[in-house]
Amino acid sequence: MRIVATFAFAAAAVLALSAQAAPPATATPEVELWRLECGAVRVNDLNAFSDTRAYPGQSRDLVASCYLIRHGTDYMLWDTGLPAGLLGKPQDKTSAMSPTLAKTIVAQLATIGVTPAQITRVGISHYHFDHIGQAAAFPQAELLIGKGDADALAKGEGNVDAKPLAPWFGGGAKLTPVSGDKDVFGDGSVTMIDLPGHTPGHHGLLVKLAKTGPVLLSGDVAHFHENLDGDGVPPFNTERADSLASMDRYRKLGAALRAVMVIQHDPRDVALLPAFPKAAD
């Protein structure tokens, strides 16, 4: 009995010492999400978004949204909208697509007391001009972009224009090409979701909020609900099969997580998040 008691005492002492030596559990930093206004696009020929010509004679007004995420003391932008040069540009009803910008990202950040220098990361869903337009206003930030898109930008393939991303492509700023899914902060709160097809390295973004729950941002996996619901593929997507697989993954992931699913270009989804300057938390 004495041996058993001695062994039990020793084991308890070891456990106590281990508990003292173990570092305390780190709480996940508070996460907030703001929806920013990053432009609007008048689409005068909606068949521009359908390789099966599903929308004959239709037009539509789309939004160009981007997002600010606060993770503790870190700030991240997701997409950077239309170029600042389109500020105040009038729209027309003759061009296939007519973009305009009402407010810059920098001006909106100033409203909530955030400076460009505080942005530590810029995540880009894909390389199209309406998603990278104002990125160069944050040259100190790490750029996160799908590897397929990064490779295309570096090579200057096709109609890909790297000039809006000059700080990272040629300017020496920190560039992180992303393959597959990426846990941005290492705690599961913000994850880039691999959804190729629209472009080679296209991604969406999953943000987990304490009160709101998961929010799944689409990038351009689809441009409006009818696109997503009907497996509509724009003719300018780089890979049709990947596009269909990514739409399927986006739908199933959103359903499994019971996420707030935001199609970034669809104005009907604007009200799913609080109106700026309020944040979802």
Q: How many CB atoms lie within 10 A of CB 9?
A: 10
pLDDT of residue 16: 40
pLDDT value of residue 9: 35
For residue 135, give the nearest of 192, 176, 174, 83 by alpha carbon: 83
- Distances from the Cα of 55 to the Cα of 51, 60, 62, 68, 204, angstroms: 10, 10, 15, 33, 25
CB 206 within 8 A of CB 190: yes
**Exposure string for 175-194, b = 16+ CB within 10 A, e = fewer:** bebbeeebebbeeebbbbbb
**Which residues, 6+ apart, have CB-to-CB distance to 221 below 8 Å?**
195, 197, 198, 202, 204, 228, 243, 246, 247, 250
Residue-wise DSSP of 51-75:
TT--STT--EEEEEEEEEEEETTEE
Q: Are β-strands 203-209 and 74-78 bridged in parallel, bridged antiparallel, or unpaired?
A: unpaired
pLDDT at residue 3, as a whole number = 37
d(CA 188, CA 206): 9
Closest CA to 191 of 202, 200, 180, 201: 180
d(CA 145, CA 177): 5
- Per-residue model confidence (pLDDT) at position 17: 32
Which pLDDT value is given to residue 158?
72
Q: What is the DSSP letter of 228?
A: H
Residue 79 near residue 38 (C-beta atoms within 8 A):
yes
Six-digit token pair at 126? 């894909």
Task: Give the model's pLDDT for residue 88.
Answer: 96
- Cα separation, 36 vs 39, in Å, equals 9
The residues pairing with 211 across neighbouring beta strands, listed in sequence order, are none
The CA-based dihedral angle spanning residues 195, 256, 224, 83, taken in that order and rounded to the nearest 10 degrees: -50
3 state DSSP class of 68: strand
* pLDDT value at residue 26: 58
From first to last of its 281 residues, the chain has per-residue pLDDT tens of: 333 333 333 344 333 433 334 444 457 799 999 999 999 999 999 999 999 999 999 999 999 999 999 999 999 999 999 999 999 999 998 888 999 999 999 999 999 999 999 999 999 999 999 999 999 999 999 999 999 999 999 998 778 999 999 999 999 999 999 999 999 999 999 999 999 999 999 999 999 999 999 999 999 999 999 999 999 999 999 999 999 999 999 999 999 999 999 999 999 999 999 999 999 99
What pLDDT, on the 0 to 100 scale, is given for residue 4?
Answer: 36
Q: Is the domain 29-272 a CATH 3.30.420.40 member?
A: no
Find residue 161's DSSP bridge partners. none
Distances (CA, A) of 42 to 51, 110, 183, 214: 19, 28, 34, 30
